[in-house]
């Protein structure tokens, strides 16, 4: 049995970047940019109006202008504004030649007969309400650095410069196998002694949340031959194999034995932690194999602290082994020394509170939890005010 830090070191030493691939921008959400990106154009590519209003060559001593044209967004014509004249203009429309300012429509009075506007306020200065060419970014400017995770905002940024594709670190394909005769799918009736399969939907969501969508789900009963066939097939077809349950030492826990038969090289088995002591990590021909405890809370904890960092590193993320924050604990918590504890918690501002329902089978705390708190191995009582490592869910 090894320490949490030793488990992290072993995983980090064995983890390499995945392949790079150019994909459609619309399919890139949550993936990691694999190269620096430079804007191919100026954005905006022309001076344009930031308001619905009227545009002219502004003179602070002039208060009336005659409106002799209208310019809508998307109008590609070349418009010119004569001295002392104005144009009706709309948000996003190209500024006409000779104009340098836009007065919002609510600040003027418009005479429909003379087609004149009158402006009496003092809020507007020359250049007001004009978006200048290149004010977002200029052609050749670095707009995104390698290693950035693609969010909806990043997709918007890349689309704004006309990019339809982006080079990313490829997300691995994953098979997860849920083991256990007692498991039934949601939507079916339970018999006495059966439980619903919560680990499957949870793992699917955890993988999707980090940008992995090529996911195959399988189930295997407590039968060695059935499990062996499922493991062998997954190792042939997928980049990563995750197993849930069957990794302890019970009479029907066949996972470790089947992985040995499949030729998987064990990196470690069992960590001095709670929950999730019987966690397994191994590799075969560059493929990763993780075996999670069957208790749902234990499985989620092990995924969050070991599987997720490995997968994110493969996908191009940096600093995956560092906590998200260091915060002050709001309440005392007792634990057993000799084990690192990962406890469900909730952050509020610069504080973090350990929640109840910490049992390894109990998912109730996740209705409010947004993180895990790591409590060091040598401690037995952690006092309120102690600065602790916080790992976001």
Instruction: Map out the domains of the chain with their CATH numbers.
Output: 4-19+170-314 (3.40.980.10), 20-43+135-169 (3.90.105.10), 48-131 (2.170.190.11), 325-392 (2.40.340.10)
Q: Specify which residues 268 forms β-bridges with.
A: 281
pLDDT at 372: 98
Report, as an integer, the average pLDDT of 170-184.
94
Evaluate if residue 251 carries a pLDDT over 80: no
Evaluate if residue 252 carries a pLDDT over 90: no
pLDDT at 122: 86
pLDDT band per the 50, 70, 90 thresholds, residue 140? very high
pLDDT at 248: 84
pLDDT at 6: 98
- The single residue listed with the structure tokens 């029907």 is 252
- The single residue listed with the structure tokens 């499985």 is 299
pLDDT band per the 50, 70, 90 thresholds, residue 376? very high
pLDDT at 257: 95
Tell me the pLDDT tens digit for each residue of 188-236: 999 999 999 999 999 999 999 998 999 999 999 889 999 999 999 999 9
Report, as an integer, the average pLDDT of 97-105.
97
**Residues 193, 196, 200, 203, CA torsion sign:** negative
| CB distance 207 to 300 below 8 Å | no
pLDDT band per the 50, 70, 90 thresholds, residue 33? very high
| CB distance 372 to 345 below 8 Å | yes
Q: What pTM was computed for the model?
A: 0.84
Report, as an integer, the average pLDDT of 97-114.
96
What is the distance between the alpha carbons of residues 199 and 178, in angstroms, rounded to a whole number? Answer: 7
Q: For residue 186, give both structure tokens.
A: 């949601």
pLDDT at 276: 95
pLDDT band per the 50, 70, 90 thresholds, residue 340? very high
Alpha carbon separation from 3 to 9, 237, 265, 277, 377 (Å, rounded) = 10, 32, 19, 10, 8
Tell me the pLDDT tens digit for each residue of 355-367: 999 998 899 999 9
Range in 154-163, 215-224, 250-259, 283-292 with the lowest mean pLDDT: 250-259
Residue 37: in which H helix or E strand, if any? strand 37-38
Can you give the length of the chain in residues?
393
Residues 6+ positions from 23 with CB-CB distance below 8 Å: 31, 165, 166, 168
Mean per-residue pLDDT over the chain, rounded: 95
Residues 6+ positions from 106 with CB-CB distance below 8 Å: none
Evaluate if residue 250 carries a pLDDT over 80: no
pLDDT band per the 50, 70, 90 thresholds, residue 62? very high
Tell me the pLDDT tens digit for each residue of 287-308: 999 999 999 999 999 999 999 9
Longest Cα–Cα distance of the chain, Å, equals: 94
pLDDT at 315: 96
Evaluate if residue 79 carries a pLDDT over 90: yes
| CB distance 32 to 315 below 8 Å | yes
pLDDT at 221: 87
What is the distance between the alpha carbons of residues 282 and 260, in angstroms, rounded to a whole number? Answer: 10
Quick check: bond before 5 cis, omega within 30? no
């Amino acid at each position: 049995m090894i320490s949490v830090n030793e488990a992290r070191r072993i995983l980090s030493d064995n983890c390499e970047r995945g392949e790079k691939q150019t994909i459609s921008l619309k399919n890139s959400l949550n993936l990691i940019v694999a190269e620096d990106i430079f804007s191919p154009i100026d954005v905006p590519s022309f001076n344009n109006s930031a308001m619905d209003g009227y545009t002219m060559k502004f003179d602070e001593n002039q208060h009336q202008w005659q409106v002799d044209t209208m310019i809508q967004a998307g109008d590609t014509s070349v418009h010119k504004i004569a001295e002392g004249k104005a144009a009706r203009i709309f948000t996003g429309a190209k500024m006409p030649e000779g104009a340098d300012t836009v007065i919002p429509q609510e600040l003027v009075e418009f005479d429909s007969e003379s087609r004149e506007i009158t402006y009496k306020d003092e809020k507007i200065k020359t250049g007001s309400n004009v978006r200048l060419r290149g004010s977002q970014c200029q052609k050749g400017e670095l707009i995104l650095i390698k290693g950035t995770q693609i969010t909806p905002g990043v997709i918007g940024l890349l689309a704004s410069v006309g990019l339809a594709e982006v080079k990313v670190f490829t997300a691995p394909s994953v098979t997860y196998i849920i083991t256990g005769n007692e498991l039934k799918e949601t939507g079916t009736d339970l018999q006495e002694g059966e439980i619903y399969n919560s680990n499957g939907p949870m793992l699917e969501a955890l993988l999707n949340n980090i940008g992995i969508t090529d996911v195959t789900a399988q189930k295997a009963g407590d039968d060695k031959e059935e499990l062996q066939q499922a493991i062998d097939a997954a190792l042939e077809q997928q980049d990563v194999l995750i197993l849930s349950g069957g990794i302890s030492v019970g009479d029907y826990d066949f996972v470790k034995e089947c992985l040995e038969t499949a030729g998987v090289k064990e990196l470690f088995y069992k960590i001095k932690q709670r929950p999730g002591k019987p966690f397994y990590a191994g590799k075969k021909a560059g493929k990763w194999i993780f075996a999670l405890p069957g208790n749902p809370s234990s499985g989620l904890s092990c995924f969050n602290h070991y599987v997720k960092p490995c997968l994110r590193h493969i996908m191009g993320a940096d600093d995956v082994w560092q906590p998200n924050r260091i915060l002050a604990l709001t309440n005392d918590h007792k634990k057993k020394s000799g084990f690192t504890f990962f406890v469900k918690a909730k952050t509020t501002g610069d504080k973090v509170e350990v929640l109840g329902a910490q049992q390894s089978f109990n998912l109730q705390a996740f209705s409010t939890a947004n993180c895990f708190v790591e409590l060091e191995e040598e401690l037995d009582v952690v006092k309120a005010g102690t600065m602790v490592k916080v790992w976001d869910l």
